[in-house]
Amino acid sequence: GAGVSQSPRYKVAKRGQDVALRCDPISGHVSLFWYQQALGQGPEFLTYFQNEAQLDKSGLPSDRFFAERPEGSVSTLKIQRTQQEDSAVYLCASSLAAGPHHEQYFGPGTRLTVT
């Protein structure tokens, strides 16, 4: 069966450009998480969706970051006016149900480089 997929796998953006990162979770998974992983660090929480509802966006680092999941499946993380500090791997994960007792299934990540 298909796992979590993310696209693009690699993205190079010039400073000031807008980017959109896509996550296709496992079909039927209720929960969806976005994480940002800077070099040498562990993943850091950005935002959480339960179906189409964005229940927690407390980890988004600035108002340049926006995420949506309009139909409760595919999610897009948008970064406006990219800055060099946005360079990181962006990971998406989904889980079958709500609640922290369910394991998360991760995608391969999108590596964003802002030049």
Residues lying near another protein in the complex (CB under 8 A): 3-4, 31, 33, 35, 40-45, 48, 55-56, 58-59, 91, 93, 100-109
Give first-to-last CA distance, the chain, whole Å: 37
Give the angle subtended at the CA of 63 by the CAs of 68 and 58, to the nearest 5°.
70
Residue closer to another protein, measured from CB, 71 or 103: 103
Q: How far is the CB of 71 from another protein (least distance, A)?
A: 20
Q: Which is nearer to another protein, 18 or 52 (CB)?
A: 52
- Please say whether the beta carbons of 114 and 84 come within 8 A: yes
Q: Considering the complex, what minimum distance in angstroms separates the CB of residue 100 from another protein?
A: 4
What is the rounded distance in angstroms from the CA atom of residue 111 to the CA atom of residue 8?
A: 8
Q: State which residue, 31 or 75, has the beta carbon closest to another protein.
A: 31
Do residues 94 and 3 make contact, with C-beta atoms less than 8 angstroms apart?
no
Q: Nearest approach, Cβ of 114 to another protein (angstroms)? A: 22
